[in-house]
Amino acid sequence: MSDEKGFGLLKGKKGIIFGALDDRSIAWRIALACKREGAEFVLSNAPIALRLGTLDALSEATNAPVIACDVSNDDEVEELMNNTKEHLGGVDFILHAIGMSPNIRKKKEYSDLNYNWYQQTLDISAVSLHRVLKHAEKTGVINDNASVVALSYIGAQRIFSKYSDMNDAKALLESIARNYGSRLAKRGIRVNTVSQAPTKTSAGTGIKGFDSMYTFADKIAPLGNPSADECADYCITLFSDLTRKVTMQNLYHDGGFVTSGISEEMIDGLVKLYADEE
Ligand SMILES: NC(=O)c1ccc[n+]([C@@H]2O[C@H](COP(=O)([O-])OP(=O)(O)OC[C@H]3O[C@@H](n4cnc5c(N)ncnc54)[C@H](O)[C@@H]3O)[C@@H](O)[C@H]2O)c1
């Protein structure tokens, strides 16, 4: 419903949105939905992404300033929080939509990981959530009763071989969300992860075998794979006041994939495939 009028669910709320690179990015779709629902926010991405991406167009469309920040750099994250404070005062929501694996990019198998790159995967894709929350709290930019959402993937629970060290990064990300969520709860701040189905974005399609993973999930999930816009709508509910007691959860947004075994369509297809082989 990205083009529709919205419900004003985030009216008066302010936030930080990390991870919009181009118009396929889940964070991009979430930014548009936040705007639709009446929020004001800053956009942030790594300096290199700002040079390669098209974030200026989103900034214009949502009237949101862009603040460069490499989330693996402690000083830059602190500076971003201070800059945000200057722009917005306090924030009521934060979206962490950041993931990157040099090992996957450079086609290193899991049994032959480059350990420096492995650390970068964990640092950028997971530890960065810790860093963001630490500086959000230390600088005082995060308001009481704020809502923090980080995007995850079912590779945290079940191994998808092509997802390699990102399986590990997502498991760590989800753990940090729970751990920090328990500490921030005294201020009414909630921290959750949304486990999104395969989605055709720059990060997603960069994974070898992505198309098969996408089709597999789509065929098994009774509702099919949700789009980035549908993910955005779900995140809006988590940023809104309608979910004030939801915290420390990993919430599946996957069309029912996680609790499905196999679909009728796949049973029929597999029987036919193996019958043809015999
Ligand atoms: N696409 C999928 O299939 C899928 C499924 C489930 C979860 N997710 C997660 O959703 C999130 C968003 O990914 P996406 O699919 O929209 O792809 P995307 O490529 O559009 O977004 C990933 C973002 O991470 C940013 N990033 C990388 N290194 C950074 C750094 N050092 N500092 C700051 N930002 C950095 C990139 O610039 C990019 O904007 C990621 O956490 C991803 O793992 C994606």
In tens, the pLDDT along 72-87 reads 999 999 999 999 999 9
Asked if residue 5 is part of any domain, the answer here is: no
pLDDT category at 270 given cuts 50, 70, 90 is confident
Asked if residue 143 is part of any domain, the answer here is: yes
Q: Which of 23, 95, 98, 234 to mutate to test the pocket of ligand 1 (most atoms within 8 A of CB)?
A: 98
pLDDT at residue 1 in the model: 64
Asked if residue 206 is part of any domain, the answer here is: yes
Q: Which of 21, 131, 163, 215 to mutate to test the pocket of ligand 1 (most atoms within 8 A of CB)?
A: 21
pLDDT category at 273 given cuts 50, 70, 90 is confident
Asked if residue 1 is part of any domain, the answer here is: no
**Which residue minimizes the CA distance to atom 32 of ligand 1?**
70
Q: Which of 151, 207, 215 to mutate to test the pocket of ligand 1 (most atoms within 8 A of CB)?
A: 151
Asked if residue 35 is part of any domain, the answer here is: yes
Ligand 1 centroid distance, CA of 60 (Å): 21
Give the ligand 1 atom nearest the CA of 198. 3
> pTM surpassing 0.75?
yes
Asked if residue 199 is part of any domain, the answer here is: yes
Ligand 1 centroid distance, CA of 226 (Å): 17
Cα–Cα distance for residue pair 69/50, rounded to 1 Å: 10
**Which residue minimizes the CA distance to atom 38 of ligand 1?**
19
pLDDT digits (tens, 9 = 90+) for 86-136: 999 999 999 999 999 999 999 999 999 999 999 999 999 999 999 999 999
pLDDT at residue 232 in the model: 98
Domain range for 42: 14-277
pLDDT digits (tens, 9 = 90+) for 139-196: 999 999 999 999 999 999 999 999 999 999 999 999 999 999 999 999 999 999 999 9
pLDDT digits (tens, 9 = 90+) for 41-58: 999 999 999 998 799 999
pLDDT category at 204 given cuts 50, 70, 90 is confident
Cα–Cα distance for residue pair 153/60, rounded to 1 Å: 30
Asked if residue 4 is part of any domain, the answer here is: no
pLDDT category at 3 given cuts 50, 70, 90 is low
Decide: 256 and 223 in contact? Cβ < 8 Å: yes
Percent of the chain residues topping a pLDDT of 90: 88
Residues with C-beta less than 6 Å from any ligand 1 atom: 19, 21, 25-27, 45-46, 49, 70-72, 97-100, 124, 151-153, 196, 198-199, 201-204
The domain tally of the chain equals: 1
CATH number, domain containing residue 144: 3.40.50.720
Asked if residue 9 is part of any domain, the answer here is: no
